[in-house]
Structure 1
Amino acid sequence: MTAFVLVSDIFTGGWIWDEVAGRLREAGARVCPVTPAGLGDGRSPVGPGIDLETHVQDVVRLIDGVREPRVVLVGHGYGIHPVLGAAGRRPERIARIVFVDAGMPQDGDPAAKLVADQAVRERLLDPAGRTGADRPVSPPPLDGWQRWGSTEGVPADALERLTRLAAPQPAGTLTQPLRLAEEVSRLPTTGVLCTASGASIEGVQMLVGFGDPRLQALTEPRVTFFELRTGHWPMLSCPEELAGVLLRAAAGEGRRLTARPGEPPAHLRPFLLDVPRQRRERVGRVDLHLPGTEEPRPAVVFVHGGPVPTGARPTPRDWPALVGYAQYVAGLGAVGVTVDHRLHELADYPRAAEDVADAVEAVRADPRVEGERVALWFLSGGGLLSADWLAAPPPWLRCLAATYPVLAPLPNWGLADTRFRPAKAVRTAGRLPIVLTRVGLERPEIAATVEEFLGAAGECGATVEVIDLPTGRHAFETIDRSEEARRAVHLAVRSVLGHLES
């Protein structure tokens, strides 16, 4: 018999697993939902001294009370922190750790680092401790759960019950650093990714391909993955499917990531066009791809997506797609520019925006650039960085382009109230020409942000040219060499350059 120990996200207790637990028991499993200290029923006050260690001990005691020799630990959201802490105390008892829409905390990370609500995260991580970092975190009202993760698929009555039973979260559970025992890194694991939250197996595979050594372990045979087409609360939105996935995970099933020695990851494969080589010059974080002319020329600044791990090598300005675009533009008489900005984590968007603004000013000041004729071209997760330029376009910005962009923060990104919302900023873009390349096989959660953007653009009369690639996928320039894909790149480049020359 398999024994499951279930630990849920912030504000919640064992009650949230009721439907999943029932289905697991019907399948013959022993199930132990955890109600951590202070999170019983939403009415009891949070006592002093409750921290992450308290919740780790709660899980350890449950493991010790299970007769079965091997236990599957399931952590949802915040719950993965006490799960990992407990696994380090009893590694010999753990058959598998299952991450349900949860991050991958490292040793020394507080859970607050992964809190979705940005305002709460900043308060908890305030180094000066002057903004109430020790106060319990109150659960959101009925209409506020979206700030903590996607509620897609959750029935209205389940969301009401979640609101009614949610309890204040002791601050110490979120601010005390997690201590990971070395043995935990060798335990079998499964990731259950909820796609409406913005996670996908394809996305994880891409992150592994960036070369971050912390993620290489995800390609080992002991690691498997599942996807659920739902939001952050699958135990409420699709309990039967989640129970089935947990049973399969316990059996060692699931998709495995590929690690093919000698084969480059998708983002390092050749650009789909063979373009003539142009002179390239590196200045700080900026690379200039220069046309063969002496007089100043307009420039196109390409802004890569992300987040990209700090240790990724090569860095984005050397990725074949970015280099290919910049070289293509230079071959047609404009200055192509690639930039390494510091979008390494979701919290880095403000810093990345500063990097892009600094790069643009440096490019405009270069004597080889016609500073009054500049286009900005955003790709993928870099799309959020377009918001500042859409909100108040400067006169020298002649065109803004976006290719398979993210145009509104995804639900679990914690950026709901920030300035990085192109779908809102486009309402003040005026007559700025916008060239948008839309791929038909986009991840649904990203495609939804594009449609939100286009809806807002239509309402305010923004000037948007959409170049559709129905068979295209995210990052198609290095994985698709079809004539349709080549044509989409040609059309987008020619359109942007046409706006620069007009």
Structure 2
Amino acid sequence: MTAFVLVSGNYTGGWVWQEVAERLRGSGAEVHPVTLTGMGEGGPPADAHTDLETHVEDLLRVIDAVREPQLVIVGHDYGIHPVLGAADRRPERISRIVYLDAGLPQDGDSVLATLRDPSVRERLLQRAERSADGRWIAPPPLDEQDVWGSMAGLTEPARQRLTTLAVPQPLGTFTGPLRLSGALAALPTSGIFCTAGGMSVALLQNMVRMGDPRLQPLADPRVGFFDLDTGHWPMLSRPAELAELLLRAAAGEGTRLVADERPDFHGPFLLDVEQRPRERVGTVDLYLPDVPADAAPRPAVILVHGGPVPAEARPTPRDWSIFTGYAGYLASQGVVGVTFDHRLHDIGDYGVAAEDVAAAVELVRADPRVDADRVALWFFSGGSLLSTPWLAAPPPWLRCLAATYPMLAPLPNWGFSDARFSPAAALAGAGELPIVLTRVELEFPELVPTVEKFLAAGKECGARVEVIDVPLGHHGFETIDHTEPAREAVRRAVASVLGHLGSLDTA
């Protein structure tokens, strides 16, 4: 028989697992939903010293009391921190760890340190300051999805249960560091993604292929993954399906990731573009058109790559065939094509990446071969969040803004709410700025709602948005889908951008 130890996320206790536990027991499993110290009725009361270590000790007592040899321990959201701390000290008792819509905390990480948005951390600490003795973080309103995660799939009664039964979190459980010895490395693991939050097996596979060393262990054959089409609280929204996935995880099932395949975006560009020399200035590459040396300055199109891209990735994005292909094609059409590397290596890096975009723009516009009054910015994938300030207050020299298979809102599970990177909210300031948006039919499902939200906002404020669709196109279609509709989409997008830059005959 398999025994499950179930540990829920912040502000909740063992009650949240009630329906899942009933279904697991119905299958013959032994189930232990845990209410950690200070986390509600049924758990020990908290005191001034309650911290993450207290919750680790809570789980150690549960583990030591379980007699079944096959023990699967499940950590949801915050719960993965004490789960990992306890499993690290009892690795011989654990047959599998299940990450349920949870992060990958490492040795020394506190919960607050893993929050990527400083404004979220600040709000949580302010709640603690307002508590009676400064030791508790009151549950935030359920509409703060950067804290609670996606609420997709929850019925109104389920939302009411969360509202009614959520309890303040002891501050020390968020500020104390996780201590790991490395014993976890030998344990089989499973991951369950709640896809409404913005992550899926397909997206993770794409990230692993980029070469991020932090993610390479996830391609271990002992690691399996599942998708569950719901929000961040599947034990309330999809308890039957979650119970089934937990049983499958315990049996070692799940999708395995592949780390050694060549990433799709390193394939050849879909158009036959003649190779041409580029001029490299720091992190910026300029692809210059074939014009006489005394020709008037030419318009420029600056390509902003997506991400996050690991800092160790080689080649860097400006050398990816997607961007060298676009830049070369733009140069063949008589404008300056520009690629560059920015520092979007992690979700928390959007601020420094925005600075890099601004610096690249300044460098390009200062080049005497560039018409500083006729520039277009073209954003791709996750880099499209960087379009926000340019949409909010477009300068007169910005003649067009393009976005291809874009992410146009932070994903719910990022815990990220920085208004500087919300393109839909910025659209009201775009005025007459032409926007060329290329979307693919076979987009990652997690990104589709962000585009829909953007288009709805554009319709409401009357923004000038042109949509170019790629039938049966994939994310990164330029090196994946060598079809005539895909080629035509690239030609149309380039032609539209160039049209907004004005006649090249007068350049």
Sort the TM-score into its range (normalised by shorter chain): over 0.9
> Which of 262, 267, 275 pairs up with 1:277?
275
Show the 5 A alignment for 1:400-439: 400-439=401-440
Q: Which one-letter code corresponds to 1:468 in the other structure?
A: D
Over 3 Å counting, the alpha-carbon distance change for 1:291 and 1:130 in structure 2 is: farther
Unaligned stretches of 5+ residues in structure 1: none
Question: 1:149-188 counterparts in 2 under 5 A?
Answer: 149-188=149-188
Offset from partner CA, 1:30-58 (integer Å, 9 cap, x none): 11111111111499985211111111111
1:120 Cα shift?
Answer: 3.3
Q: TM-score, normalised on structure 1? A: 0.95
Among candidates 290, 293, 303, match of residue 292 of structure 1? 290
Which amino acid letter does the alignment assign opposite residue 475 of structure 2?
A: H
Q: For 1:84-136, what per-residue CA distance to the aligned partner results, in whole angstroms no more than 9, with x for missing partners?
A: 1111100011111111111111222112133477523246799xx99999642
- TM-score scaled by length of structure 2: 0.94
Deviation at 1:167, TM superposition (A): 1.2
Distance change (3 Å), C-alpha of 1:42 and 1:470:
farther
Tell me, in whole angstroms, the C-alpha distance in 1 between the residues paired with 2:418 and 2:429. 18
Identity value in percent: 64
**What SS does the corresponding residue of 1:419 show, helix, strand or coil?**
helix
Residue 485 of structure 2: aligned partner: 484
Counterpart residue type for residue 420 of structure 1: F
Q: In 2, Cα distance between the equivalents of 1:450 and 1:108?
A: 37
Query: Could you tell me how far apart the structure 1 residues matched to 2:122 and 2:287 are?
Result: 39
Aligned to 1:63: 63
What one-letter code is carried by the residue in structure 1 that aligns with 2:470?
L
Displacement, 1:420?
Answer: 1.2
Shift of 1:74: 0.5
| 1:204-253, Cα deviation, whole Å (9 max, x unpaired) | 11111111222111111101000011111111110100000000000000
Aligned positions, number: 498
Instruction: Tell me the CA shift for residue 366 of structure 1.
Output: 1.2
Aligned to 1:315: 316
Question: How large is the Cα RMSD of the aligned pairs?
Answer: 2.2
SS in structure 2 of the partner of residue 487 of structure 1: helix
Deviations 1:303-335 (A, max 9, x none): 111112222222211211122111111121111
Match of 2:332 in 1: 331
Cα-to-partner distance string for 1:138-193 (whole Å, 9 max, x where unaligned):
11124435642100001111111111111111222112221222120121111101
Q: 1:186 to 1:267 in 2, by over 3 A?
A: farther
Q: Who is 1:199 aligned against?
A: 199
* Counterpart Cα distance in 2 of 1:166 and 1:131: 17
Alpha-carbon displacement from aligned partner over 1:249-294 (angstroms, at most 9, x marks no partner): 000001111244xx41112222222211122122222121222223
Residues 311 and 171 (structure 1), Cα distance of their counterparts in 2 relative to 1, 3 Å cut: farther
- The AA in structure 2 aligned to 1:427 is A
Q: Which residues in structure 2 correspond to 1:73-84 (within 5 Å)?
A: 73-84=73-84
Residue by residue over 1:324-354, the C-alpha shift from the partner in whole angstroms, topping out at 9 and shown as x without a partner, is 1111111211111112111122222121111
Q: Following the alignment from structure 2 to structure 1, what is the Cα–Cα distance between the partners of residues 213 and 130?
A: 35
SS of the equivalent of 2:279 reads: strand
SS of equivalent residue, structure 1 residue 472: strand
Deviates more, 1:468-477 or 1:108-117: 108-117
1:145 and 1:359 map into 2 onto residues whose CA distance is: 34
Gaps of 5+ in 2: none
Conserved? CA contact 2:117–2:348, under 8 Å: no
Does the aligned pair in 1 maintain the 2:117–2:418 contact within 8 Å? no
**Contact (CA 8 Å) 2:443, 2:474: kept in 1 or not?**
yes
- What is the DSSP-based 3-state SS (H/G/I as helix, E as strand, rest coil) of the residue aligned with 2:466? strand
Alpha carbons 2:37, 2:44 under 8 Å: kept: no
Partner letter of residue 18 of structure 2? D
8 Å Cα contact 2:74/2:97 also seen in 1: yes
The residue number in structure 2 matching 1:107 is 107
Distance 1:172 1:402, change over 3 A: same
1:42 and 1:416 map into 2 onto residues whose CA distance is 34
C-alpha distance after superposition, 1:60-80 (max 9, x if no partner): 111101001221111111111
**Aligned residues of 1:298 and 1:374 also touching (Cα < 8 A):** yes
Look up the equivalent residue of 2:315 and give its one-letter code: P
Contact kept, 8 Å, 1:46 with 1:168, in 2: the verdict is no
Structure-1 separation of matches of 2:213 and 2:15: 38
1:243 aligns with 2:208: no
Secondary structure of the residue that 1:453 maps to in structure 2? helix
**SS state at 1:471 partner:** strand
Give the partner amino acid of 1:464: V
| C-alpha contact 1:307 1:343 (8 A) present in aligned 2 | yes
